[in-house]
């Protein structure tokens, strides 16, 4: 198991450095503009059966992209139930994130309206609905250099938190139709009329001014369902103001490892189990799931 986990973390580090410009440390060259310093880590739920693919963690997908005016982080979580219909749950999420990434790189998006980025990526999926089916959540966080603020759009139960001075100063709101049934973008096969299908415009959107050193975690529910929020905050607090990408990568790896370990602990009263009990479901243990961690600090 350790060898598989080591391979995934090594590949995540390599891919993270590529996505953020190919430097191991953001201090290695003179940069004076405001920016995110970002890394990614994570694991697929079925570690031994999943092939590594850039931008994917099992049925999860992610991207990191930037333009002259903005840095953009995104995650999506494919709905696993489609597997029983012979549909790859991760393909929808992967293509959605690739569409969004491409739109960012070609500057075909408004940095203060990330919900429009999700909508445009989704519309491109709809244009190819014969070949790509399924559902996913989505969370986009945009750092707008012009006003040093972040603009966010979140649909479903992926999400983000921002930590400053050891406290959460801003976070996403989880969107659920009912317990363990998040809001989701969908493209069902013909004849499936009872599938949940939320509009991109139903995403929760926020704007928040950030400060130098703020830490931002964007993640899928494999993290938030398994790692207690206090443990997340304490871990993120350690890298407040950190500009060294390698140290940030170590932090991201530790969060991913915590989430994976706790997800398979049958005796742990996880956030998911606590939430289940609030809904009159007698649950105990973590929730095995794909895990995606996108971690960034703000450098102003």
- Tokens matching residue 145: 């250099």
How many domains does the chain fold into? 1
134 close to 89: Cβ distance less than 8 angstroms: yes
Cα separation, 283 vs 300, in Å, equals 44
- Tokens matching residue 72: 């953009």
Mean pLDDT of 156-178: 98
List C-alpha distances in Å: 276 to 192, 199, 214, 267.
28, 26, 32, 15
CB-based contacts of 171, cutoff 8 Å, min separation 6: 159, 160, 161, 162
Give pLDDT, residue 52: 85
Q: Is the pLDDT of residue 23 over 50?
A: no
Confidence category of residue 22, pLDDT binned at 50, 70, 90: very low
Measure CA 204 to chain center: 15
Q: Is the pLDDT of residue 26 over 50?
A: no
Of 1-10, 35-44, 98-107, the poorest mean pLDDT is in: 1-10
| Pairing mode of beta strands 215-219, 159-164 | antiparallel
Give pLDDT, residue 24: 35
Give pLDDT, residue 194: 82
Asked if the structure places residue 22 within a domain, the reply is no
Asked if the structure places residue 10 within a domain, the reply is no
Asked if the structure places residue 18 within a domain, the reply is no
Of 104-113, 122-131, 174-183, the poorest mean pLDDT is in: 122-131
Give pLDDT, residue 31: 57
Asked if the structure places residue 271 within a domain, the reply is yes
27 close to 283: Cβ distance less than 8 angstroms: no
Cα separation, 296 vs 252, in Å, equals 9
Confidence category of residue 9, pLDDT binned at 50, 70, 90: low
Range of the domain at 107: 35-299
Mean pLDDT of 231-246: 98
* Domain of residue 275, CATH code: 3.60.40.10
48 close to 89: Cβ distance less than 8 angstroms: no
**E-assigned strands of 91-223?**
134-136, 138-144, 149-155, 159-164, 167-171, 176-178, 181-182, 185-187, 204-209, 215-219
Asked if the structure places residue 188 within a domain, the reply is yes
Q: Is 30 or 102 the better-scoring residue by pLDDT?
A: 102
Confidence category of residue 217, pLDDT binned at 50, 70, 90: very high
Asked if the structure places residue 19 within a domain, the reply is no
Q: At what angle do helices 245-263 and 2-19 cross, to 10 degrees?
A: 140
Q: Is the pLDDT of residue 153 over 60?
A: yes
Rounded to the nearest integer, the mean pLDDT of the chain is 91
Residues of the chain with pLDDT > 90: what percent? 81
Q: Is the pLDDT of residue 298 over 60?
A: yes
Asked if the structure places residue 102 within a domain, the reply is yes
Confidence category of residue 28, pLDDT binned at 50, 70, 90: very low
pTM score, whole prediction = 0.92
Give the model confidence (pLDDT) of 255-290 as tens digits. Answer: 999 999 999 999 999 999 999 999 999 999 999 999
In 191-226, which positions are buried (b, 16+ CB within 10 angstroms) versus exposed (e)? eeeebeebebeebbbbeeebeebbbbbbbbbbbbbb
Give pLDDT, residue 10: 62
Mean pLDDT of 3-29: 50
Asked if the structure places residue 73 within a domain, the reply is yes
Give pLDDT, residue 109: 95
Give the model confidence (pLDDT) of 76-122 as tens digits. Answer: 999 999 998 999 999 999 999 999 999 999 989 999 999 999 999 99
Give the model confidence (pLDDT) of 55-81 as tens digits. Answer: 999 999 999 999 999 999 999 999 999
Measure CA 8 to chain center: 17
In 5-37, which positions are buried (b, 16+ CB within 10 angstroms) versus exposed (e)? beebbeebbebbbebbeeeeebeeeeeeebbbb
């Amino acid at each position: 198991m350790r060898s598989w986990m080591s391979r995934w973390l090594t590949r995540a580090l390599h891919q993270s450095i590529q996505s953020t410009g190919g430097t191991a440390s953001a201090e290695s060259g003179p940069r004076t503009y405001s920016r995110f310093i970002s890394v990614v880590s994570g694991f697929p739920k079925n570690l031994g059966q999943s092939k590594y693919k850039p931008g994917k963690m099992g049925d999860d997908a992610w991207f990191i992209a930037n333009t002259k005016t903005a840095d953009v982080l995104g995650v999506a979580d494919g709905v696993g139930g489609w597997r029983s219909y012979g549909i790859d749950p991760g393909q929808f999420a992967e293509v959605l994130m690739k569409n969004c990434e491409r739109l960012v790189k070609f500057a075909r998006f408004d940095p203060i309206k990330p919900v429009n980025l999700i909508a445009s990526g989704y519309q491109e999926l709809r244009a190819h609905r014969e070949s790509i089916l399924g559902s996913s959540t989505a969370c986009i966080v945009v750092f707008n250099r012009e006003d040093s603020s972040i603009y966010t759009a979140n649909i479903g139960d992926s999400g983000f938190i921002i930590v400053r001075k050891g406290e959460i100063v801003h976070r996403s709101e989880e969107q659920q139709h009912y317990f363990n049934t998040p809001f989701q973008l969908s493209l069902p096969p013909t004849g499936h009329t009872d599938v949940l299908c939320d509009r991109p415009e139903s995403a929760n959107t926020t704007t928040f001014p950030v400060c130098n050193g703020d830490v931002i975690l964007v993640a899928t529910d494999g993290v938030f369902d398994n790692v207690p929020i206090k443990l997340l905050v304490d871990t993120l607090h350690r890298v407040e103001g950190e500009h060294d990408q390698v140290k940030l990568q170590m932090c991201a790896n530790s969060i991913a490892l915590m989430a994976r370990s706790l997800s398979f602990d049958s005796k742990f009263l996880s956030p998911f189990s606590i939430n289940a009990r609030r809904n009159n479901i007698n649950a105990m243990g973590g929730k095995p799931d794909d895990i995606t961690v996108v971690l960034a600090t703000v450098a102003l």
